């Protein structure tokens, strides 16, 4: 090879290295140093195990509310989850509490508490329908188009994003550093139950909304402590998953939500479906250099006492995902209505959950604290 050819070859090698190093940074090129560390450490941790998460874990559990330090997961295992999910629905309309009655001030404190012990924070937003003022679950034709630039509700939507930005920028650690958050806007966007999802808009409209939201938070509001998750519901094929994907330059984490329905899907069906979707997700995340995650999952009421090891762990253990977030333990609501996705002390699957906790494949708070995810 001539000296000239050699230097050209070297140039290409270094360009290639620079490009792959770039891929190892969050999509926000101005992400704070702690956010960059979280991103690279989440990738590193993929080879160590799956972090267990729980929505509203520190706020309440089955039969209790706002008891400092308490957590249903801790009651059962002696340890906290590694990932903490929180919800900002109704912050956009200046309510002091979210749609599940959790005060935003308390959420802020819980986030700080979990971050200080090295936990990971993820936030969802069931924002109201900006066109009609109704809830997230009440779609109306033209809603997504109405919030895009040029639409009649674009200014209103921007004012809602101002409140999200203010909240994100109010999350601070001991030294005043911003606490990194995995934000998963427009979750379950392939289903039609939310105004932003499925048949309620075109794939192009929701892609535009995703990009607009991210650009506005990042460039107008200077929010640089977010990793962005693209988050579908269960899906059939790779094409389904990617139909509403806004593009690699907008997404850090690729995930989906999946629930096992009582009496609808039996264990075998659920395992097969979870296995198939995780296989597709693994491949997509690898190709695109994204972090795969199970952004929400659950089996309400946990009627199967060995579900954690014989169904969930059995399926998860052959896949690589950063974390799995169980939904909230809002408890028993009378008339046979209940909602809980992790066991409370004495619940039928509690012993099995301890086995799940002890399994080498799962990571809870104590293990991730040692990893110093923000350094
Ligand atoms: C749903 C349920 C509801 C809750 C909503 C938003 O899955 O848990 O009770 O209001 O999520 O958190």
pLDDT tens track for 157-195: 999 999 999 999 999 999 999 999 999 999 999 999 999
CA distances from 307 to 260, 341, 343 (A): 11, 11, 11
- Among 13, 78, 160, smallest CA distance to 5 is for 13
User: Which atom of ligand 1 sits closest to the CA of residue 100?
Assistant: 10
Point out the catalytic residue in the list 296, 339, 358, 371: 296
pLDDT number for residue 15: 47
CA of 110 to the centre of ligand 1 (A): 19
pLDDT number for residue 6: 55
CA of 286 to the centre of ligand 1 (A): 31
| Confidence label for 346 from pLDDT (cuts 50, 70 and 90) | very high
**Quick check: is 205 catalytic?**
no
Specify whether the CB–CB gap between 223 and 167 falls below 8 A: no
pLDDT number for residue 264: 54
| Confidence label for 319 from pLDDT (cuts 50, 70 and 90) | very high
pLDDT digits (tens, 9 = 90+) for 276-313: 999 999 999 999 999 999 999 999 999 999 999 999 99
Q: How far is 263 from 160, CA to CA, in rounded Å?
A: 39
SS3 assignment, position 14? helix
Query: pTM of the predicted model, to two decimals?
Result: 0.94
Which of 258, 328, 330 is the pocket-test mutation for ligand 1 (most atoms within 8 Å of CB)? 328
> Is 254's pLDDT higher than 70?
yes
Specify whether the CB–CB gap between 197 and 244 falls below 8 A: no
pLDDT number for residue 262: 73
pLDDT digits (tens, 9 = 90+) for 15-31: 444 444 556 899 999 99
Long-range contacts of 243-246 (CB under 8 A, 24+ apart): 243/190, 243/203, 244/189, 244/190, 244/203, 244/206, 244/207, 244/210, 245/207, 246/207, 246/210, 246/211, 246/214
> Is 117's pLDDT higher than 70?
yes
Question: What percentage of the chain exceeds 90 in pLDDT?
Answer: 92
CA of 40 to the centre of ligand 1 (A): 31
**Which residue has the CA at smallest separation from atom 8 of ligand 1?**
328
285 phi/psi in degrees, rounded to 5: -65, -40
**Quick check: is 188 catalytic?**
yes
In this structure, of 14-18, 48-52, 104-108, 201-205, the range with the lowest mean pLDDT score is 14-18
CA of 158 to the centre of ligand 1 (A): 25
Residues 328-366 as b or e (16 or more Cβ within 10 Å = b): bbbbeeeeeeeebbbbbeebebbebbbebbebeebbbbe
């Amino acid at each position: 090879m001539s000296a000239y050819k050699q230097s050209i070859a070297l140039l290409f090698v270094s360009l290639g290295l620079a490009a792959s190093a770039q891929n190892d940074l969050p999509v926000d090129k101005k992400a704070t140093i702690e956010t960059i560390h979280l991103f690279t450490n989440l990738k590193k941790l993929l080879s160590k195990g799956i972090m267990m998460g729980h929505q509203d874990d520190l706020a309440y559990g089955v039969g209790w509310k706002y008891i400092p330090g308490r957590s249903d997961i801790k009651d059962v295992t002696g340890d906290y989850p590694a990932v903490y999910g929180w919800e900002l629905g109704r912050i956009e309309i200046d309510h002091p509490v979210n749609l599940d009655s959790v005060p935003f001030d308390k959420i802020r404190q819980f986030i700080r508490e979990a971050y200080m012990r090295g936990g990971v924070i993820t936030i969802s937003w069931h924002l109201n329908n900006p066109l009609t003022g109704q809830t997230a679950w009440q779609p109306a034709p033209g809603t997504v188009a109405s919030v895009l630039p040029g639409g009649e509700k674009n200014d209103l939507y921007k004012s809602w994003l101002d409140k999200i930005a203010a909240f994100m920028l109010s999350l601070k650690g001991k030294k005043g550093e911003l606490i990194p958050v995995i934000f998963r806007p427009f979750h379950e966007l392939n289903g039609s139950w939310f105004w932003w999802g499925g048949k309620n808009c075109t794939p192009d409209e929701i892609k535009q909304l995703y990009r607009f939201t991210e650009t506005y938070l990042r460039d107008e509001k200077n929010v640089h402590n977010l990793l962005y998750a693209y988050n579908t519901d269960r899906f059939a094929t790779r094409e389904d998953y990617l139909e509403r994907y806004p593009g690699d330059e907008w997404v850090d984490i690729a995930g989906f939500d999946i629930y096992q329905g009582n009496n609808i899907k039996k264990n075998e069906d659920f395992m097969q479906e979870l296995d198939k979707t995780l296989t597709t997700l693994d491949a997509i995340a690898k190709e695109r250099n994204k972090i795969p995650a199970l952004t929400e999952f659950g089996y309400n009421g946990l009627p199967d006492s060995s579900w954690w090891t014989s169904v969930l762990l059995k399926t998860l253990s052959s896949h690589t995902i950063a974390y799995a977030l169980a939904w909230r333990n809002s408890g028993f609501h009378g008339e046979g209505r209940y909602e809980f996705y992790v066991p409370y002390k004495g619940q039928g699957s509690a012993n099995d959950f301890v086995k799940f906790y002890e399994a080498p494949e799962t990571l809870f708070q104590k293990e991730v604290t040692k990893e110093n995810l923000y350094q």
